[in-house]
Amino acid sequence: MSARLLPPSDESIRGAAAILRAGGLVAFPTETVYGLGADGFSAKAVGRIFEVKGRPADNPLILHVAEAGEISGIAGVVPREAWKLAERFWPGALTLVLRRAEKVPAIVSAGRDTIAVRVPDHPVALALLRATERPLAAPSANKSGRPSPTSAKHVMDEIGDRIEAVIDGGDCRIGIESTVLDCTTERFQILRPGGVSADALSEVLGYLPGLASEEQGASPGTRHEHYRPSCAIHLFTGFPPEVRRGEGIVTLTQPAPKAEFSVRVASPEDYARRLYDLFREADALGLERLHMERPPYHDLGVALNDRLLRAAGRSR
Ligand code: TXA
Ligand code: MG
């Protein structure tokens, strides 16, 4: 099988919705990364996501909906603070973990009694959700453990032979995944830093949500090896290290040194947007090592540092 690469037209969105309703898999763009979508009410279709990605069975998926109101149908009691967050940040890069309603097949949340849900901020994703008329379970459209795709080409290259269609919506605007926030504890906790910062959340919550420790097991996804290119990633701050043959470098505050692969990103936002593509480029060039400057640890820099540390094989 080879996926049909569809333009983001009304006609292809209708076609993609029909594929999804029939139990097929369609990758689609969001503002964060490309998602691999399946009908969130079909255990069978969702099962195929796990197969295609080689995803560990204990790693739950995010449900995507077109409007905040739809969470009443898939979640149990929703805390008032969670509604406020939805109102403030949706559509957007914030995923809320809530109690799961019976109606949602257990496989979506890997058997947990919670679900993760968000409204993506992308016209194609929203149009697809409206046309399909059901929640779409959608992890990032990469093989498990690999960098998330931020273009339709990334998806085609990696899993194009195993799914029905990919809708091409161009490059993703944010480039790294959504913030996952656990709303089932008294004080909400960040399970995965992402496109919405803790500071922004604190403006609604009235307190700064902490980052859950990995040992607590609240976010199974962060336990598994993640976001790894094939080349070794070496992180640095301050003055750039020496770049040898077969190595590359990415800088943010420092001028790009002379090297066969040397990129200076313009800002933390630009860094996030290009991060996974830089990983893929480094691999395509067969680089042995990529030196990467760590961004300052605030706003989007928190999520960026998280992904960089994981790529380097270190935890927070
Ligand atoms: O930006 C994003 O979030 C993208 C786009 C496509 O929406 N999706 C994405 O999905 O990154 P995925 O499957 O690659 O990551 C989902 C993360 C994982 O770390 C998973 O463990 C966590 O969310 N998660 C999902 N459901 C959960 C639940 N019920 N409880 C705790 N963590 C959950
Ligand atoms: Mg992922």
pLDDT in tens, 265-309: 999 999 999 999 999 999 999 999 999 999 999 999 999 999 999
Does the pLDDT of residue 224 top 60, yes or no? no
Q: E strand or H helix at 192, and its extent?
A: strand 189-192
Q: At what angle do helices 300-311 and 268-284 cross, to 10 degrees?
A: 20
CB 37 within 8 A of CB 19: no
User: 270 C-alpha to center of ligand 1: Å?
Assistant: 23
pLDDT in tens, 106-163: 999 999 999 999 999 999 999 999 999 999 999 999 999 899 999 999 999 999 999 9
Q: pTM, whole model, 2 decimals?
A: 0.96
Enter the tokens of residue 156.
């085609």
Quick one: pLDDT at residue 227? 72
Q: Which of 33, 62, 71 to mutate to test the pocket of ligand 1 (most atoms within 8 A of CB)?
A: 62
Predicted confidence band of residue 216 (pLDDT cuts 50, 70, 90): low
Quick one: pLDDT at residue 1? 76
Enter the tokens of residue 264.
């200076």
User: Residue 129 CB: number of other CB atoms within 10 A?
Assistant: 26
Q: Collapsing DSSP states into helix, strand and coil, what is residue 243?
A: coil
Task: Determine whether 55 is exposed, middle or buried from the number of CB atoms within 10 Å of its CB (0-12, 13-18, 19+).
Answer: buried
Produce one character per residue of 205-216: b if its CB has 16 or more CB atoms within 10 Å, e if not.
beeebebbeeee
Nearest-angstrom CA–CA distance, 214 and 212: 6
Share of the chain above pLDDT 90, in %: 92
Nearest-angstrom CA–CA distance, 20 and 245: 47
Share of the chain above pLDDT 70, in %: 95
Match 């790693």 to its residue by tokens. Answer: 59
Quick one: pLDDT at residue 12? 98
Quick one: pLDDT at residue 187? 97
Pairing of strands 247-251, 289-293: parallel
DSSP states of 157-190: HHHTTTSSEEE---S-SS-SPPEEEE-SSSS-EE
User: Residue 195 CB: number of other CB atoms within 10 A?
Assistant: 25
Q: Please tell me the number of the ligand nearest to residue 121's CA.
A: 1
Nearest-angstrom CA–CA distance, 24 and 16: 9
Identify the residue with better confidence: 193 or 214: 193
Count CA atoms within 13 Å of residue 36 on its CB side: 31
Pocket of ligand 1 (CB under 6 A): 30, 32-33, 35, 59-62, 95, 97, 109, 112, 114-116, 120, 138-140, 177-178, 180, 191-192, 218-222
User: 18 C-alpha to center of ligand 1: Å?
Assistant: 25
* Non-local CB neighbours of 186 within 8 Å, separated by 6+ positions: none
Residues with CB under 5 A from ligand 2 (ion): 140
Question: Mean per-residue pLDDT for 83-96?
Answer: 98
Average pLDDT, the chain: 95
User: 257 C-alpha to center of ligand 2: Å?
Assistant: 32
User: 139 C-alpha to center of ligand 2: Å?
Assistant: 6
Q: Please tell me the number of the ligand nearest to residue 147's CA.
A: 2
CB 301 within 8 A of CB 295: yes
Quick one: pLDDT at residue 213? 81
